[in-house]
């Protein structure tokens, strides 16, 4: 799938709500697939991006850690889960 699919999922081309789109992205664009328990975490990280709070500490689901911690900064979640398609404005439609 890759970046093109992530872009289509983020811009609504496939007609999915945000939770479903991110779930499809985490399961289809990552190997091994990312657990669906990370969907709310990813949405919170995207929200932090749009609120200019990339250092916000986001609690991770039980059994998941980041550098030995039970929380991770929003920027790390965005980078490691390739969520940039949800963190850019489409300038073609201005």
Residue 94's pLDDT is: 34
Please state, in angstroms and rounded to a whole number, the distance separating the CA atoms of residues 74 and 71: 9
The DSSP bridge partners found for residue 58 are: 72
Question: Tens of pLDDT along 7-32?
Answer: 889 988 888 999 999 999 999 999 99
Model confidence, pTM: 0.89
Please state, in angstroms and rounded to a whole number, the distance separating the CA atoms of residues 6 and 33: 14
**What mean pLDDT value characterizes the chain?**
91
């Amino acid at each position: 799938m890759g970046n093109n699919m992530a872009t289509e999922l983020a811009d609504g081309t496939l007609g999915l709500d945000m939770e479903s789109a991110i779930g499809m992205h985490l399961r289809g664009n990552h190997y091994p697939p990312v657990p669906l328990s990370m969907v709310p975490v990813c949405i919170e990280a995207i929200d932090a991006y749009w609120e200019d709070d990339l250092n916000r500490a986001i609690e991770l689901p039980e059994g998941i850690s980041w550098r030995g911690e039970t929380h991770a900064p929003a920027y790390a979640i965005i980078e490691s889960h390739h969520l940039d398609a949800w963190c850019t404005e489409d300038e073609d439609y201005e």
